[in-house]
Amino acid sequence: MDLAPEDRPLAGLVVLDFSQFLSGPFCSLKLADLGARVIKVERPGSGDLCRNLYLSDTDIDGDNSLFHAINRNKESITADLKNEADRARMRALIGAADVMIQNFRPGVIERQGFGYEDVRGINPRLVYGSISGYGEDGPWRDLPGQDLLAQARSGLLWLTGSADDPPMPMGLAVADMLAGHALCEGILAALVGRGVHGRGARVDTSLFEAMIDFQFEVLTTHLNDGRRPPQRSKVNGAHAYLGAPYGVYETADGYLAIAMTPSLKKLAELMEIEGLSPFYDDPTALMAQRDAIKAIIARAVRTRTTAEWLGVLQPADIWCSEVLDWQQMLASENYRALDLDQVIRRNGGTRLNALRGAIRIDGGTLKSERAAPELGEHNDTVFAELLSGDMPAEGATTARAR
């Protein structure tokens, strides 16, 4: 069941999104899914540079699949922030908005006259969200805020892979996605606060802060264990701070992930593994002798198929899983049961297979068929509503927020 747009928690809220690429637009996507009206502000002529950032050779109705995925369910208007007439219209639109989002390098939006202090004077109830690369202060503030670079500076690359591997980045734009999530969380909190005290707020985060927060669990250990560097396992590395058997093992026909086990002895008995008994009575062995233990387990795992091992281990409450590729995952009954697919459409005919967001509200999913907008597609409607006074007036959502 899909939740109707008017029944979503943010229905009636207006978000003015000046951001581009991934982090800011990902935040506004989450707000749009929750019911907000997201108006994307783009450069005339070129638009969001993400329109031309191709992950593959897949082009859908003139835009790449990445742009479609990250900007569905939004409207697009164009504005030249160096043009005074456009700047005046943006100021008027800010006066009617609930949220503004931007992810320019520190100082850029301020030079255009749309920094927080500027817009707070226009709309004191506005929630203003910003994402930078490394924060508004410090020696890295003016460096490019790009996902791989933020991963590289965060220490994350020394946690993935095995001990003999070089630094290993994650295979996703994880800094962008997590910074977008963090900003969305902060904006939602500020909107709740506005409902209590009536004031807007400024919410700031950065790719770097998102990467540090992502690692808070293991960094906390590091800060309290003498700051010893993390040590990745030499055998089937999966988590630098977890001992054997934690890892991914090759089977006779695929791969098996083994996470937690009640005891090494129980695992050895179930798998009929010899050679592990010297480690049974030493509680420190799972970490201190991690590589030796995992090497013994790895040899045993290769003797049977993945299905055979699952049949042995799962009934005994050994936490384990088959390792699926995308084709297998998409074909799984569990994927289908969660109703994760959605179809979005543009220009009456263009169809894009997409995925819904990860949350459900009152049992309903947050799907929408509305595709990513064409550049400036909603100039006439948005500006007509603004100039005619049909936009929600500032403060119109106070009752909802309370």
Q: CA dist 171 to 100, 157, 246, 357, Å?
A: 30, 11, 21, 20
64-81 pLDDT, tens digit per residue, is: 888 999 999 999 999 999
Evaluate if residue 59 carries a pLDDT over 80: no
Segment 225-236 mean pLDDT: 95
| Nearest alpha carbon to residue 371 among 153, 97, 18, 62 | 62
Return phi, psi of residue 291, to 5°: -65, -40
Tokens of 388: 């005619």
Segment 217-243 mean pLDDT: 96
What is the chain's length? 402
Contact 265, 282 (CB under 8 A): no
pLDDT at 346: 83
| Nearest alpha carbon to residue 88 among 113, 117, 125, 108 | 113
130-134, 282-286, 346-350, 354-358: range with lowest mean pLDDT? 346-350
pLDDT at 394: 38
Evaluate if residue 267 carries a pLDDT over 60: yes
Evaluate if residue 220 carries a pLDDT over 80: yes
Segment 109-120 mean pLDDT: 97
Rounded (10°) CA dihedral 96, 99, 104, 106: 100
Domain extent listing, the chain: 5-214+358-401
Q: CA dist 303 to 112, 263, 300, 307, 319, Å?
A: 65, 22, 6, 12, 19
Three-state secondary-structure class, residue 354:
strand
pLDDT-derived band of residue 398, with 50, 70 and 90 as boundaries?
Answer: very low
Segment 169-195 mean pLDDT: 97
Segment 288-294 mean pLDDT: 97
Tokens of 287: 């970490």
Evaluate if residue 389 carries a pLDDT over 70: no
Task: Look over the chain and give the mean of its residue pLDDT values, rounded to a whole number.
Answer: 93
Pick the catalytic residue: 68, 197, 222, 239?
239
What superfamily would CATH give domain 5-214+358-401? Crotonobetainyl-coa:carnitine coa-transferase; domain 1 (3.40.50.10540)
pLDDT-derived band of residue 94, with 50, 70 and 90 as boundaries?
Answer: very high
Share of the chain above pLDDT 90, in %: 88
Evaluate if residue 368 carries a pLDDT over 50: yes
pLDDT at 62: 79
pLDDT-derived band of residue 278, with 50, 70 and 90 as boundaries?
Answer: very high
Query: Is 378 in the active site?
Result: no
